[in-house]
């Protein structure tokens, strides 16, 4: 897949937007350089006959997947589970205001 | 006796015959940490009080004849992407700088059940992404053999602490070479077990189809003892092998007679002369020890770093999506709306390397690019698995460099191409899920350690360790300590 300089910049902008990452101009340029290199390198994939090849998503899956009995068992208490939660005010969590 | 020159199992013997106590060993570690930390920066957190309490409890057990096992009372430490209940797990990232782990990782439970003393958390590349241990928020780790050089990454703190004789053993994690490359740079043994050999429950995910936890120590026997402890089933990690690994310390002395060793031809392309010389020397040693050595070509392996770059970025972008300042992680400031909150949180929380990885991962998974990049990379992975499967019909073991060069200077700022080349020899084992080990095998003219990589068949760590032990015994001169 070929990318012009403008197309690549737009692709990086879109990826940054979807990834929700604020970044400086310097960091953006570093991302753009990285993507330019990788998309150029990935042209080598076109030389491979991959049409009938299945994807490998994971390897070494042992025999059967272990399962747990479908029954209730003690789990982490609510105090521990909420230890990292935002500060509470009354019965509510205090979170940043997000409604404009 | 210099306690720091003992191997882990030699120290275990001293604890067992009560010529040393766990408190003495732990205090020796803490003193060594005070001496070396200003130079190495290997630790993110030292839990001196917790460690001394655990050591005292171990000594009491031993005095009552109730030791929990041969490793009871041995101090060790963990890479800071492994959960220890009640301690921060930061992944060397501002994003998780205040995250306190709510539970122990499975491997930590296993270490505690064996009575081991947890000394603290070790420095690393941010979110385990990197090959230099310079990208973390806590600063660069320095190589104990040359302080102005990198300790490798991403488990650089683990390797530096073991190499500097601060610790007898440590745990790291390896998604593309993060145990083996720093082990090679710091003159320690590092094992990435088969995918699924050790539970990953409680380890912060980076590239889920490749992440593995593994031990680092100065001797192969120590690695075998730690793997025996850690290679257990875990029904809470569905990708963990349900069969226990067994006792890897048994049969280590059987040598490598009759083994077929493949010298991975492509791995020597572009290798530094001194690295190539080490591999040649190791090949000769294998023959001398009774193995058959043949050169083996894996042409597709040249493309393994590309598959790794695409797949690891995709998996990272998915795994790290949870760090948005609301569900987990640093919450950004001054956000007028939800989108801005996400942007600020992730923009402030992540460093440059992680941002590059996540941007690339989001790109290769996005509609319009998914088929051309991610799907093709996953198909290439299938071809790589097949190529390796055919290779292992001819040989029992693959020999290669761990890295093309010894440790590089800390200020080395690689181009994207140079950065990808740092992982060239290590990523294949992660993509195909095989066990691979870095064994110290020499020094450059500048006194920098050089490791060799041995890759074995899936879940055949016993054979891998047996051969590594034979090579180690054949050439003990590489156990040279750093001048630190």
Band (B475; pLDDT cuts 50, 70, 90): confident
> What's chain B's average pLDDT?
96
The values of phi and psi at residue B450, to 5°, are -130, 130
Band (B1; pLDDT cuts 50, 70, 90): confident
B88 at A interface, C-beta within 8 A: no
What predicted TM-score, i.e. pTM, was given to this entire model?
A: 0.95
pLDDT of res. A27: 94
B100 at A interface, C-beta within 8 A: yes
pLDDT of res. B50: 97
> Which residues contact residue B64 at a Cβ distance below 8 angstroms, ignoring those fewer than 6 apart?
none
**Higher-pLDDT residue of B355, A83:** B355
The two structure tokens encoding residue B403? 């890295």
Q: How far is B265 from chain A (nearest CA, A)?
A: 20
pLDDT tens profile B82-98: 999 999 999 999 999 99
Please name the residues between 320 and 359 in chain B that touch chain A, using a CB distance below 8 Å.
324-326, 328, 331-332, 335-339, 341-344, 346-348, 350, 352, 355-356, 358-359
Measuring CA to CA, which residue among B479, B456, B478 is closest to residue B281? B478
How far is the C-alpha of B111 from the C-alpha of B77, rounded, in Å? Answer: 10
pLDDT at A99 over 70: no
Residues A2-8, mean pLDDT to the nearest whole number: 88
User: Is B178 a known active-site residue?
Assistant: yes
Instruction: Tell me the percentage of chain B whose pLDDT exceeds 70.
Output: 99
pLDDT of res. B208: 96
Band (A100; pLDDT cuts 50, 70, 90): low
* Run of H or E residues at B218: none
Distance of CA B213 to the CA centre of its chain: 7
**Which candidate from B338, B348, B380 shows the least CB-CB separation from A98?**
B338
Q: Could you say which of B154, B184, B317, B400 is catalytic? A: B154
Radius of gyration of chain B (CA): 21
The values of phi and psi at residue B380, to 5°, are -60, -35
Please name the residues between 6 and 65 in chain B that touch chain A, using a CB distance below 8 Å.
none
Give contacts of A42 with chain B, Cβ < 8 Å. 306, 310, 372-373, 376
Please give the span between the terminal C-alpha atoms of chain A, in angstroms, as a whole number. 40
Residues B322-343, mean pLDDT to the nearest whole number: 85
Please name the residues between 18 and 77 in chain A that touch chain B, using a CB distance below 8 Å.
18-23, 27, 30-31, 33-39, 41-42, 44-45, 48, 50, 53-66, 68, 76
Cβ of B346 and A19 within 8 Å?
yes
The values of phi and psi at residue B102, to 5°, are -85, -5
pLDDT of res. B333: 75
The two structure tokens encoding residue B448? 């920098």
Cβ of A35 and B359 within 8 Å?
yes
Q: Please state the ipTM of this predicted complex.
A: 0.89
pLDDT tens profile B240-288: 998 899 999 999 999 999 999 999 999 999 999 999 999 999 999 999 9
pLDDT of res. B311: 98
Alpha-helical (H) ranges within A20-82 are 25-41, 78-81
Counting one residue from chain A and one from chain B, the pairs whose CB atoms sit within 8 A come to 173
pLDDT tens profile A27-79: 999 999 999 999 999 999 999 999 999 999 988 665 556 667 788 888 888 88
Cβ of A56 and B378 within 8 Å?
yes
The two structure tokens encoding residue B48? 């001196």
How far is the C-alpha of B100 from the C-alpha of A82, rounded, in Å? Answer: 11
């Amino acid at each position: 897949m070929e990318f012009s300089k403008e197309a690549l910049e737009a692709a990086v902008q879109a990826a940054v937007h979807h990834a929700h990452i604020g970044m400086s101009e310097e960091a953006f340029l570093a991302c753009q350089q990285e993507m330019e290199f990788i998309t150029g390198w990935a042209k080598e994939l076109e030389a491979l006959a991959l049409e009938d090849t299945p994807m490998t998503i994971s390897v070494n899956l042992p025999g059967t997947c272990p399962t747990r009995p479908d029954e209730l068992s003690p789990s982490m208490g609510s105090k521990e589970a909420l230890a990292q939660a935002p500060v509470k005010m009354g019965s509510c969590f205090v979170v940043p205001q997000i409604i404009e | 006796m210099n306690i720091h020159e003992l191997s882990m199992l030699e120290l275990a013997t001293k604890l067992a015959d009560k010529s040393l106590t766990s408190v003495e060993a732990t205090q020796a570690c803490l003193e060594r940490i005070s001496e070396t930390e200003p130079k190495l920066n290997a630790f993110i957190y030292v839990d001196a009080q917790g460690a001394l309490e655990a050591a005292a409890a171990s000594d009491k057990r031993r005095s009552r004849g109730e030791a929990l096992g041969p490793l009871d009372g041995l101090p060790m430490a963990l890479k800071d992407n492994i959960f220890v209940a009640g301690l921060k797990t930061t992944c060397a990232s501002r994003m998780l700088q205040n995250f306190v782990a709510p539970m122990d990782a499975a491997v930590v439970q296993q270490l505690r059940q064996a009575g081991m003393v947890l000394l603290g958390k070790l420095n690393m590349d941010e979110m385990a992404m990197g090959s230099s241990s310079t990208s973390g928020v806590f600063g660069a780790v320095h190589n104990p053999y040359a302080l102005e050089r990198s300790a490798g990454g991403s488990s650089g703190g683990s390797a530096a602490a073991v190499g500097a004789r601060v610790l007898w053993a440590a745990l790291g994690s390896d998604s593309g070479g993060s145990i083996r490359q720093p082990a090679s740079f710091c003159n320690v043994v590092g094992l990435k077990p088969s995918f699924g050999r050790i539970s990953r429950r409680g380890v912060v995910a980076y590239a889920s189809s490749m992440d593995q936890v593994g031990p680092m120590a100065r001797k192969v026997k120590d690695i075998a003892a730690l793997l025996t402890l850690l290679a257990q089933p875990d029904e809470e990690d569905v990708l963990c092998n349900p069969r226990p690994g067994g006792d890897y310390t048994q049969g280590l002395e059987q040598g490598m007679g009759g083994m077929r060793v493949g010298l991975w031809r492509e791995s020597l392309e572009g290798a530094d002369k001194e690295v190539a010389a080490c591999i040649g020397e190791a090949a000769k040693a294998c023959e001398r020890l009774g193995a058959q050595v043949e050169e083996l070509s894996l042409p597709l392996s040249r493309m393994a770093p590309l598959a790794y770059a695409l797949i690891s970025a995709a998996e990272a972008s998915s795994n790290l999506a949870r760090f948005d300042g609301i569900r987990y992680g640093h919450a950004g400031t001054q956000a007028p709306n939800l989108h801005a909150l996400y942007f600020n949180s992730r923009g402030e929380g992540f460093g440059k390397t992680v941002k590059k990885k996540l941007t690339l991962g989001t790109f290769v998974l996005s509609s319009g690019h998914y088929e051309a990049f991610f799907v093709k990379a996953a198909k290439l992975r299938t071809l790589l698995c097949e190529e390796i499967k055919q290779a292992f019909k001819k040989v029992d073991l693959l020999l290669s460099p761990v890295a093309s060069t010894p440790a590089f200077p800390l200020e080395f700022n690689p181009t994207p191409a140079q950065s990808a080349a740092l992982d060239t020899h290590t990523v294949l084992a992660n993509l195909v899920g095989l066990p691979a080990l870095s064994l110290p095998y020499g020094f450059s003219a500048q006194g920098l350690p050089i490791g060799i990589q041995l890759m074995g068949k899936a879940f055949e760590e016993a054979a891998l360790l047996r051969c590594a032990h034979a090579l180690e015994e054949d050439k003990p001169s590489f156990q040279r300590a750093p001048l630190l």
